[in-house]
Amino acid sequence: MDELDPAFEWKLRAAAIPAALVVALAFHAWPTGHFLQRTFLTMMVHELGHAVTGWWCGFAALPTLWRTAIPEARGVIVPLLVALGAAAIIYRGLKDERRWLAGAGAVLIALQLAGTFALSADQAHATIIFGGDGGAMVLGTLLMACFFVPRLRKGGLRWGLLAIGAAAFVDTFATWWTARTNRDVIPFGEIEGVGLSDPSKLTETYGWHTGQMIARYVTLGVACLVALAALWAWQTWRLRATTRPAPGP
């Protein structure tokens, strides 16, 4: 791992995420940039959002470009693998005395129990559809948060994850934020070779009201922003504090 220079690193932490969000927003506002952003960065995170939501609901979802294959019925192997993965996170957190990691594993277990046992198959499928854009915002936030992982500093990997995460989050959240006052931006209709778009499935197949759908996406996006802002402030302030000179006698 590269040597950490706290005086330089805290400045990177302070500037990187806000700058990435501004750049992503500029691309979103530029038609050509928006097309490139959606096609090469957002879409893969969007499809992964469908798949991850499916896994936590007990379905062996398989993400591909522009489409995620979702079986009609729940399976056994995928829920078992998800539970084992969460249990491993809890074990590692307890072993290393990192309570936050053990807590994260516990949350993953709770989410799996809710998704697998509290939701009917129909409700789970609606949640998986919602998990496309919803997952893009959550996963985008997690990818941006990876900027603070020490092991990712070497080789510049964290910069790539930051760019993908910011693009996925901004492209998705900006659409639903705008939809509060302009519902024309919602991608209703059919996608060639795929079928109904996610918003059309949620409203036409699962009976969600458009206002309800918008509110749920916006609420999730705001929650992600608040969590990211809190992490950014804490990580930046904590490292900045180490560079301050010790008080004199």
Distance, CA of 245 to CA of 3 (rounded, Å): 20
User: How many angstroms separate the CA atoms of 226 and 137, rounded?
Assistant: 12
For residue 1, the model assigns a pLDDT of 43
d(CA 188, CA 200): 5
CA dist 108 and 93 (Å) reads 13
pTM of the complete model beyond 0.85: yes
Q: Is residue 82 part of a domain?
A: yes
Classify residue 1: in a domain, yes or no: no
Domain assignment present for 248: no
CA distance 36 to 169: 15
Residue 125 belongs to some domain of the structure: yes
Half-sphere exposure of 62 (CA within 13 A, CB side): 4
Closest CA to 162 of 35, 8, 12, 20: 20
Positions in the chain whose pLDDT score sits under 50: 1
Confidence at residue 152, expressed as pLDDT on a 0 to 100 scale: 87
Residue 94 lies in a domain: yes
Q: Considering its fold, how many domains does the chain have in total?
A: 1
Tokens of 228: 């990211």
Distance linking the first and last C-alpha atoms of the chain: 36
Residue 243: predicted pLDDT: 83
| Assigned domain for 129 exists | yes
Which structural domain range is residue 100 located in? 6-241
What pLDDT is attached to residue 168?
97
70 and 50 in contact (C-beta within 8 Å)?
yes
pLDDT of residue 194: 81
Q: Is residue 249 part of a domain?
A: no
> Quick check: is 247 in a domain?
no
Query: Quick one: pLDDT at residue 173?
Result: 98
pLDDT digits (tens, 9 = 90+) for 108-161: 999 999 999 999 999 999 999 999 999 999 999 999 999 999 888 887 899 999
